[in-house]
Amino acid sequence: AQTVTQSQPEMSVQEAETVTLSCTYDTSESDYYLFWYKQPPSRQMILVIRQEAYKQQNATENRFSVNFQKAAKSFSLKISDSQLGDAAMYFCAYRSLQSIIQGAQKLVFGQGTRLTINP
């Protein structure tokens, strides 16, 4: 079974600075998808960015980018120019391509990292 580990329960960063959230995962599969979700105090889970494992190029969405190291099974999220609105719980998630073929499509989540932005 796949597992996702976020080793940083809490992180803080000064507004306008850059912060990197760590995520590692364990899988024996070669094809899969990785996601970062953001959960602000309003509770709604919001998709921030996603990466297909077969793509070598790191995904980027505006101020959010990932550092995907497939061999190391690492998938970190970098937030540049941090803003107060970025404060939230951030979850790393894994979805097996095999499970998609078989029809499972479930997401496996890490424990989350609470990000605080200091003004």
Partner 1 sequence: EAGVTQSPTHLIKTRGQQATLRCSPISGHTSVYWYQQALGLGLQFLLWYDEGEERNRGNFPPRFSGRQFPNYSSELNVNALELEDSALYLCASSLARRPYSNQPQHFGDGTRLSIL
Binding site for partner 1 (CB under 8 A): 33, 35, 37, 42-47, 50, 52, 91, 93, 95, 97, 100-101, 103-112
64 vs 109, which CB is nearer to partner 1? 109
**Contact in structure between 2 and 108 (CB atoms under 8 Å):** yes
Neighbours of 44 (CB within 10 A): 9
Measured CA to CA in angstroms, residue 60 lies from 50, 95, 116 at distances of 9, 19, 22
Residue 60, helix vs strand vs coil: strand
87 vs 110, which CB is nearer to partner 1? 110
32 vs 82, which CB is nearer to partner 1? 32
Q: How far is the CB of 100 from partner 1 (least distance, A)?
A: 6
Q: How far is the CB of 96 from partner 1 (least distance, A)?
A: 11
- Read off the amino acid at residue 14: Q
